[in-house]
Structure 1
Amino acid sequence: MRVAVVSDIHGNRQALEAVLDAVEAVTADELWCLGDLVGYGADPDACVALIRRYATVSLAGNHDLAVRGDIPLDEFSAGAALAARWTQETIAADALDYLRGLESQKLDEAVGLYHASPRDPVWEYVLSPLQAELCFDVLRHRVACIGHSHVALSYTRGAGRAATGEKRLDGDLLDLADGEWLLNPGSVGQPRDGDPRAGWLLLDTDAWTAAFHRTEYDVAAAAAAIRRERLPDSLADRLAHGQ
């Protein structure tokens, strides 16, 4: 099965629409979303509607949990808290109901699916081989997909070897046939790896391959939408820099 994996959309409608067009072009069988449908961007209702329509699997990220009231806003940065509060005040009732039905992990697919990590599905940023090693120690599946960090990357561990990993670029293709793997598709709506293009992953669970993709989208329109809603300028400015 060929599955498009996305994460960290953060209310960025322009980025999500561009990725969905790209996914349609490669004829993926399913779409899996690892969470944070809402957060920093100006179009939470549109993003929830698109994921609700197209995704076979959808998880709850920490920003989704905050908007639905499960996490106190004082656990977030000032900009993230302001965006979450604005989303709480503007999100449609049916979109909020959809978020309330999501969990932060799913363990009954061919791979493990977590918003953040196998150790902490909500909060852990897996950004070092040591963290990956600790995650592999508790991983139920040989391969897992994680989000949350907004960085496209992979970690692997072979028998008797320590975990290794690296950031992933557009066009990188991995052979997952051997060893354990953690795969992060990067962020659709707010990448933080220096590449402003929307990140996503095409996973083939029959051939056991993973292809990393970046997709151009209208960054200026997404930034203008943030400013139009009088959300913090920093949330708009960072989109052009992939930070």
Structure 2
Amino acid sequence: MHVAVLSDIHGNRHALEAVLAAVADGPAQEVWCLGDVVGYGADPDACCALVAEHARIALAGNHDLAVTGEIATDDFARGAGIAAEWTREVLAAEHLEWLRTLSAAGQRGGVGLYHGSPRDPVWEYVLSTLLAEMCLDAQAERVALIGHSHVALAFHRAEGEPATGASRKAGEEVDLTTGEWLLNPGSVGQPRDGDPRAAWLLLDLEGARATWQRTTYDIEGAQAAIRAARLPHSLADRLQYGQ
């Protein structure tokens, strides 16, 4: 079975629609979402509706939990906090209730699913081999998927060896047959690895392979929506730089 793995959509309808169209043209039979359906973008209702319709499994990210009130925004950056409060005010009741049904961790097809990390599904950013080593020790599954950092990457640990890791570009593929793995698809709605295109991962469960994908979308449209909503302009500006 092929799976399209999405994360960190952040209310960016333009990016999500483009990715779902690309997914529909490919071999994926399921869509998995690793959380932060809402966040910085101006179309939280549309993104909730699309994920609820298309994703076989969806997790809650820290921005989702902030909007539902399950966590405080005290540790959020200023723009993130403003966006969370705005989203809470405009989000339809049915989508708020749907977000409340989501958890930050799960499992499907023998793969561990976490928004942040196996050690801390809500908050931990896994961007170093040291943290990856500790997460690989903590995860119950041989292969796990994480989001949260907005960076497409993979960490691998062969038996008896320390973990290694690297960011991943569009089209890069890894063989998951042996060893332990921690994979991040990157962000659909706000990539932070220098590539502004929407990022996602195609996972082949039977073939034990993962391939990183990038999809071009209407960045100007997403920026215009953020500005029209009177959200901080920095949230719009950064989209064109992938930062």
TM-score, normalization by structure 2: 0.99
* Match in the other structure for 2:239: 239
Residues 1:60 and 2:65 are matched in the alignment? no
CA displacement 1:146-190 (0-9 Å, x = unmatched): 000000000000001000000000000110000000000000000
Q: Distance in 2 between matches of 1:27 and 1:90?
A: 35
Residue 166 of structure 1 aligns to a residue whose secondary structure is strand
Partner of 1:212: 212
The residue matched to 2:155 in structure 1 has which SS?
strand
Paired residue type of 1:152: A
Q: Which amino acid aligns with 1:29?
A: Q
Corresponding residue for 1:28? 28
Query: Per-residue CA shift, 1:15-62, capped at 9, x if unaligned?
Result: 000000010111311000000000000000000000000000000000
Distance 1:78 1:234 in 2: 11
Equivalence for 1:147: 147
Q: Does 1:116 align with 2:116?
A: yes
Report the alpha carbon displacement of residue 139 of structure 1 after superposing the two structures with TM: 1.0
Counterpart position of 1:44? 44
> How far apart, in 1, do the equivalents of 2:120 and 2:108 lie?
17
- Give the Cα separation in 2 of the matches to 1:173 and 1:190: 22
CA distance in 1, matches of 2:58, 2:113: 10
Work out whether residues 110 and 205 of structure 1, in 8 Å CA contact, stay in contact via their aligned partners in 2. no
| Counterpart residue number, 1:72 | 72
In 2: Cα distance, 1:161 partner to 1:27 partner: 34
Separation of aligned partners in 2, 1:156 and 1:222: 35
Corresponding letter in the other structure for 2:154: S
What root-mean-square deviation, in Å, do the aligned CA atoms of Structure 1 and Structure 2 show? 0.6
Amino acid at match of 2:29: D
Unaligned runs of 5+ in 2: none
CA distance in 1, matches of 2:66, 2:109: 26
Q: How does 1:7-26 map to 2 (within 5 A)?
A: 7-26=7-26
Deviations 1:203-233 (A, max 9, x none): 0110100010000000000000000000000
Q: Secondary structure at the match of 2:19?
A: helix
Q: Secondary structure at the match of 1:79?
A: helix
Q: 2:158 maps to what in 1?
A: 158
- Separation in structure 1 between the aligned mates of residue 183 and residue 137 of structure 2, nearest angstrom: 16
Unaligned runs of 5+ in 1: none
- CA deviations on 1:75-120 (whole Å, 9 max, x unpaired) are 2110000000000000000110100000000035320000010000
SS at 2:74's partner residue?
helix
How high is the sequence identity, in percent, across the aligned residues? 63
Aligned mates of 1:103, 1:241 — CA distance in 2: 31
- SS of the aligned residue for 2:64 comes to helix
Look up the equivalent residue of 1:34 and give its one-letter code. L
| 1:240 match: secondary structure | helix
Q: Where does residue 182 of structure 1 map in the other structure? A: 182
Q: Secondary structure at the match of 2:133?
A: helix
- How far is 1:73 from its partner? 1.6
Partner amino acid, structure 2, of 1:144: A
* Count of residue pairs brought into register by the alignment: 243
Give the residue type in structure 1 aligned to 2:184: N
Aligned counterpart, 1:230? 230
The answer for the alignment partner of 2:4 in structure 1 is 4
Question: Equivalents in 2 of 1:34, 1:156: separation in Å?
Answer: 20
| 1:184-204 C-alpha deviation (Å, 9 max, x unpaired) | 000000000000000000001
